[in-house]
Homo-oligomer: A and B are copies of this chain.
Amino acid sequence: LSTVDESLFSAQAGRLAAAGSLPTSTGNRDFAERLLVDFSHGNVGAFPPNPAAIQAASAAFVDEHSAYSPYRGHGSVRNRVAGNLRTFVGGPVDPDRQLIITPGTQGGLFLALNALIGAGEQVAIADPDYFADARIAAFIGATPHYVPLEYLEGHSELDLGALEAALRGGARVLCLSNPNNPTGVTYDATQLGRIADLLEKWNGFLISDELYSRLDFGEAPIAHAWSIPALRDRSVSLLGPSKTESLSGFRVGVAIGPAAIIDKMERIQSIVSLRAAGYAQTVLGTWLEEDPAWLANRIESHRWIRDQITGRWSSVPGLQLAPPRAGSYLFPRLPATAFSTQQILARMRSELGIVATDGAEFGPAGAGSFRINFSQDPQVVVAAAELMAVLIESQHAR
């Protein structure tokens, strides 16, 4: 889907320039399918995996012991990952008791929520946050309590009064992502400490989705839940190499947490799909061991792309946007116009060949916004950002 079709783009830009405004929807299905860019996920062609990871997976194919593993994953891989995580998350991790390898970080989120809550129970969810939190809760038959997250100032302000009300009302778990998906704001140690105090007071539990924490622009501190001693007994942290490292095609992630919860997650994993693919688990061995220059370059490239988009979009009247401090998502709020977000996104898709995700998927507070994953070919992003800006401006002007 993420095909970059230069001729399509040139044609589009030409039409745009010639018309002085946007063409009306053609309803041409063929055209819509020839996408300029799919912003709903990153492009691993633009940011390819570390070759060492690919090498590890290829070597696994000829190692007869790598096909099957315990449900929680290969012991050798858990050992290596736990050792590498110690520095990254700010505390020792027991590879046998406190860690499970999951089928992607999504798989870890599913296991964690199923281990912690049941039908008829309640779960607090930051608003906005990753859409799977609420979907998994609904699958379980649990009820979401949305806890407002202020993010447009560029830092996270979780409404602690609303969190306490949710916990008082019976919520047993708080789900948040740090850095936040979709906004890119981060939680620091002070904020997590305050959240920990409330969780201790009400005997609550935290699921901390830290999938994007390595793509850190160094502009705002990100505190890992594991670095807060009070949270080690009452949180599961979800991590993995799917984003910064472009290893999403392997579907592997890692969850760390108290031994009893990890045990329960493993029992559920044995029911859901047995294990993360045995061969794919081996790529985790190379994770967090990359050349620091490789990682620095990856972060700098994303910072450059972010700055190109925010630079252009800051001049779009009425568009509200806080540059993300980490991760590769942008979550602008559209200006109020006669057109719905759905209508504008439909036009982007049909007329520009650009796919973005409706903000309403990320919770009630996301209505009126949209999300893009800007981990894409830099040239294409610059062009697409220009096209999108013109489309939004043209809507606004009507």
Contact = CB atoms under 8 A, between A and B. Distances in A.
Interface stretch (A183-191, A270-278, A342-350): A270-278
Contacts of A135: 270-271
A154 interface: no
Given A44-B67, A64-B45, A273 B136 contact: no
Interface string A78-117: 0000000000000000000000000110110010000000
B103 A251 contact: yes
B251 A274 contact: yes
Contact of A249 (B46, B107, B279): B279
A273 B64 contact: no
A143 interface: no
A319 interface: no
A389 to B, nearest CB: 26
Contacts of A235: none
Interface in A1-36: 1-3
Contacts of A201: none
Interface residues of A, number: 49
A249 B66 contact: yes
Interface in A245-276: 246, 248-251, 268, 270-276
A275 B103 CA distance: 9
Central interface residue in A41, A110, A272, by most chain B CB within 10 Å: A272
B271 A110 contact: yes
Contacts of A251: 103, 273-278, 280
Interface in A203-248: 246, 248
A141 interface: yes
A289 to B, nearest CB: 19
A61 B249 contact: yes
A296 interface: no
Contact of A277 (B64, B136, B249): B249
Contacts of A249: 60-61, 66-68, 277-279
A58 interface: yes
Nearest to A46: B64
Contacts of A165: none
